[in-house]
Structure 1
Amino acid sequence: MRNPKKETPNEYFAFYDKDNVYGALFFQFPKVLLYGEKYRKLSATAKLSYMVLKDRLEYSLRNNWVDSEGHVYFIFTNEELMDLFNCSKGKAIKVKTELESLGLLFQKQMVFNPDTGKNEPNRLYLSQLDVKATDVYLRGQYGKETAQSLATSGSSKSGLNLEKELSSLDTFKDTEKPDFSSSNYSPAQRQKQNEDLIKNAPEYLVEQGQGAEIPLEADTIRLLSLWVNTPKQMHDYIGIIFNAKKRAQENIQRQTGKPVTIILDDEEELQHAITDALRRAFNSLRKKYNKHEKVDSIDNYL
C-alpha cells in the first residue's frame, strides 16, 4: 500500500509562483537535467515528462490555477500521461514517482467537491530545477573543452580550480595496464564485488525508461538478484529467459508457418508475466528442495 501524500512539501520546495512563470517558460531541454549529478538517474521518460509538465504552467496561468499562496498548480492525470507517451498506467505512475523522489513534483490530494459531486483531481506542483555551481559539463573526450558552470553566480576562483583539475586529466599517463581478472582480488574483495553487482543489477542492467541494455523490466532483475549469488548466475538465468523466448518463437513459427519475432521492449504485459513465472518457479523449487525432492536440471525447470 502506498504511503498517503503529504499535505505540505518540505520547506525547500521551490514553487513556481504567478510572478515568475512567464519569464521562465520554454520548451528547450535544460542541460542540468542531462548533466546534473542530482538528476543523472532519472529515466529519459521522466526527464521529458518534466518538460511537458513545465509547459503546462502557461495553460495554468490562462485558467488562473493559482492557489491561495500564489503557487501555480496544474492538473495532469495518469490517463493524459498514458496517452501522451503511449504507455501503461503503471509506467505513468512510475514516472510521477521518479519526479517526486527527487523533489521535482508534488501532488496534493483534493477533497470531495459537493458542487460537482465528484472527487477533485490531484493538484500537481512543479519544482524549479536545482542548479548548482558544481553542475559542470564535460564535453568531448576526457572533458578537454572548458568546464562551464550552470550557475549564474558563484566563485570564479572555484571555477578556475575546477578547470585546472579537469585539465590535469589530459596529462595523466597510465603507467600500468589494469587487470580485472578474479585472481587479482582477494576472496573478500570478490565477495563484495559480487554483492555490489548483484544488488545494483536492476539499475545497470535495465536502464529505467528508454534505452534498456536488457529488454526486461527492473522487477525481473530485482527478483533474480534475490536468488543468485554471483553475476555469472545472474547472466545464466537471463540467458535461460532468452533461450525460452527463442524456443517460443520457433514453436509459433512451426504452428503458423510464419516467422515471428517477440519484441520484449514493446510487451510490458509479457514482461510482467515473465516476472510472475520466475517467482512461481523459484517458489516451487524451494518447496522441492525443502522436501528433498530431486531436480535433475534447474535450467530446464526454469
Structure 2
Amino acid sequence: MTEFDNFNYYDADNVYGALFFQFPKVLMYGEQYKYLSSDAKLAYMVLKDRLEYSLRNHWVDEAGHVYFIFTNQELENLFNCHNQKVVKIKKELEATHLLMQKQLGFNPKTKKNEPNRLYLSKLDVKATDVYLRGKYGQKTPQTLGTSGNVKITHNIDKEPKERDKDRYNIDTHQLDFSTANYTPTEINQQNHDLVSHAYDFLTDGDTGQLFLEPSAVQLLSFWCRTPQQMRRFIGIILNAKYAIEKAHKDLGVWITLDDPELKPLMTKTLRRYFNALRSNEKHIKNVENYLYGTMQNLFSIYWNKKANAKYQAEHSKTSHQKAALFN
C-alpha cells in the first residue's frame, strides 16, 4: 500500500453533483480544519470550483481520479497572490490531507518532464460535525431529563384535521424559480431542455421571429450551455448585421435575414466558426470578437452582392428607358 491508496479522490462520475461554490460548514466547525488559515480555506473552495474545468480538459487519471495541472504561476493568478503565499497555501492543504501532489518526472514517450498532478481531497465530514455549531455560541436543545420545568402545550381544542391544516399552512402561491432553489443537476436539466427546444421560442428581439435555420439552432444547442448564452450569441450576429448596414446606410441596401439564400450561408459560416474554435483554440483569444468578425465578413459579402444586383437592375432600367425614348 502506498501513500496514495487511501487518498479520498474526486472521481469523474461524482464531480457534477458537487459543483457548489459555497463554504462547507465543516471547514469552519470541524476540529481537523479549524487551524487552516482563511486563505487556505478559500483556496480549497476555488480549486473545488475548478473541478469542472479539469473534466473539460480531460484531466482524469487511469483510476478515474480528477486532478489539476497548474504551475505555481497559474495558481498565483488563480488565487490572486504572490508565490510565497501559494507555497504556504499548498503546504497547509497538504498538511491537512486536502491536497496531494504527484511527481510524474520524465516521460520517455514525450521525452519531457511531465508537470506535477495536483489532487484535491473530499472533506472529511464526521457524523458529529453537524452538532459542532453548538460549541461556538448556539444553545444546545434541552431534554426532559435535564431542563427542569418544561411547559408542554397540546392543541387539544382542535380537531386533528384542523391541526394538520395549521401544520401545513405554508404560503405557496408565490412562484420562485431562482437557481438558488435547485441543485446543479436540476439546473443543467432545465437548461438542456430550453436549449434543445430553443427554435420553438427563441426570437431575435426585433421581428419576433428567429432568423436562423433549425439546423443552425441545433448547432448552437451543441455549443451553448444556457439560453442566456444562445441569446448573447444571436445578439452578436445581429450587431454584426447592423454594423454593415450602418456603414452603408446612405445606399439604401438592407440585409434580409429571412432570405432563403442567406440562411444556409449563415449555418455554413457558423460551422466554420466552431470548427476554427475547436481546431485553433489556443490562438483565438476572444471568441466573441472572432464571431463578430466572422459574421461581419459574411454580411459584407452578402451586402455587396445585393448592392451589385440593385445597381445592375437600376442600370438596366435606365437603359430600357433611354432606348424607349429613341424609338
TM-score when normalising by structure 1:
0.43
Q: Which has the larger radius of gyration?
A: 2
Q: Which structure has greater helix proportion?
A: 2
